[in-house]
Amino acid sequence: MKESDPVYLQGDIVEEHVEFTLIELCRVTGASEEQFTLWVNEGAFEPRGARIEEWRFSGASLRRAVTAQRLTRDLQLNAQGVALALDLLDQIDTLRARLARQDDRGDTFETSCKP
Amino acid sequence: MKYKDYYAVMGVPRTATEAEIKTAHRKLARKFHPDLNKDADAESRFKEVGEAYQVLRDPEKRAAFDALGTGLKDGDEIRPRPDVSDGFEYHGAGGAQDTDDFFSDLFGARQRHAPRSQSFDWRGEDHHARVSVSLADTYNGAHRTFTLQMPSVDDQGRVTYQTRTLDVSIPKGILDGQRLRLAGQGGAGTGNAPAGDLYLEVTLEEHKQYRVDGRDVTLDLPVAPWEAALGAEVVVPTPAGQVTMTVPAGSAAGRRLRLRGRGIPGNPAGNLYVVLGIVLPQADTEARKAAYNALREAFEFDPRANFYG
């Protein structure tokens, strides 16, 4: 391989192609397993699988888990507080997206194009 | 070193009690927490508040800070008294706060970590970084080179930052806020343990023409009144290149035209929405005024027919 021809790293899009076990998600976020179990018990995360060893978290959980961990660390929130904050943040995201679409509410027509 | 007034940062008087300082910190930490506040300067304000609190919550550090005296303004050049910078040991805040130069000069402190034992095999830490990519990158896929500051712990247990250059393949269809996992590109492991992973959080750069909502992309397209009224074939720039699009006859301003599947690629791909804006030509010559007059005479048109009730 030529030196001027770098190897580009290939990554996985976490939200689409990755699932986490409890241990993996704890390692990525720095949260403890006890902490995570409390969040799951509050319904803030809904892993697949019945027993803790079988839990599988969706890739989209990572973003929420990072937020949960930072809120716990920086604001000393307990699990109930974290669950409430995550729900409210979801609502804010939904409202923001709806607000951004307000301008684009004209009647929609299909049209075609040529490349 | 440059002075920073920690009391002003916290919004409390110099006479504030510990309880008042704690309350002020709680309020400001919630207000500026980067997960709760999307303003561009929230993160730096949050760090500043954390740094101020590290000093003012601790009676010894607060006394050292007070010993610098009053009457200094932010950014004033100061020399700490020799006895001030000694004797204060700063224990890390659990990695939450990066401290800036004033703080470290004052307390002689970079955050210290215990040197890691070399006798066990520890998997390397996972690292996180934020990168921005353009809309064209996600439409087409791209090769991008990023320069990142990576923390690493030296033999004395100090955290140092090293600049690292990474060549990364941006997958087609990646969305704002998604993360890319690069296996084995995080912190080095010790012994025989593997390296950690690197997570890149992707931000889509704002574009002056396109608005992005998930995989859907919206574009405002200026058209002439006659193009809207009579229909036209117009050239539309899309992030994947120009296309020729049909504007249907009888289009009103604000009409939204959907080009199915021309949004951000994916399964399914998003749509591209083209919102028509009608631009009026100026009546700036006699001939053009005559053209508008001809228009008036041709239409008995009252735009306010249903306006007054």
| CB-based contact A8 B167, cutoff 8 Å | yes
Helical (H) or strand (E) element with B218: strand B216-223
Among the partner residues B33, B126, B177, nearest to A27 by beta-carbon distance: B126
Return the structure tokens found at B106: 């004052």
Domains along chain A with CATH numbers: 14-89 (1.10.1660.10)
| CB-based contact B33 A11, cutoff 8 Å | no
Measured distance CA(B152)–CA(A30) in Å, rounded: 17
| From-to residues of CATH 1.10.287.110 in chain B | 6-107
Measured distance CA(B205)–CA(B272) in Å, rounded: 18
Contacts 24+ apart (CB under 8 A), A95-100: A97/B213, A97/B214, A100/B211, A100/B213
Q: Where are the alpha helices (DSSP H) in A7-60?
A: 14-17, 22-29, 33-41
A1 touches chain B (CB under 8 A): no
Q: What is the ipTM of this complex?
A: 0.84
According to the model, what pLDDT value does residue B79 have?
60
**What class has domain B6-107?**
mainly alpha
CATH number for B127-204 (one of 2.60.260.20, 1.10.3720.10, 3.40.47.10, 3.30.565.10): it is 2.60.260.20
According to the model, what pLDDT value does residue B169 have?
94
Neighbours of B4 (CB within 10 A): 22
Measured distance CA(A75)–CA(A66) in Å, rounded: 14
- Strands B272-278, B216-223: pairing is parallel
| From-to residues of CATH 2.60.260.20 in chain B | 127-204, 210-298
What's at B197, amino acid-wise?
D
> How high is the mean pLDDT in each 10-residue block of chain B (309 residues)?
87 93 93 90 92 92 86 70 38 40 60 49 85 94 88 73 88 95 88 89 93 93 96 94 93 92 94 95 96 93 85
A97 touches chain B (CB under 8 A): yes
Better pLDDT: B275 or A6: B275
Contact B109, B157 (CB under 8 A): no
A75 touches chain B (CB under 8 A): yes
| CB-based contact B180 A16, cutoff 8 Å | no
Interface of A with B in 5-34 (CB under 8 A): 6-16, 18, 27-28, 30
Bridge partners (DSSP) listed for residue B238: B241
CATH architecture of structural domain B210-298: Sandwich (2.60)
According to the model, what pLDDT value does residue B31 have?
93
Neighbours of A48 (CB within 10 A): 10
Contact A65, A45 (CB under 8 A): yes
Tell me the chain A residues in contact with residue B273 when contact means C-beta distances shorter than 8 Å.
104, 108
Q: Where are the alpha helices (DSSP H) in chain B?
A: 6-10, 18-32, 42-56, 59-66, 82-85, 101-107, 135-140, 225-230, 286-298
User: Mind telling me how many Å the CA of A99 is from chain B's nearest CA?
Assistant: 11
Say what the pTM is: 0.75
| CB-based contact B211 A100, cutoff 8 Å | yes
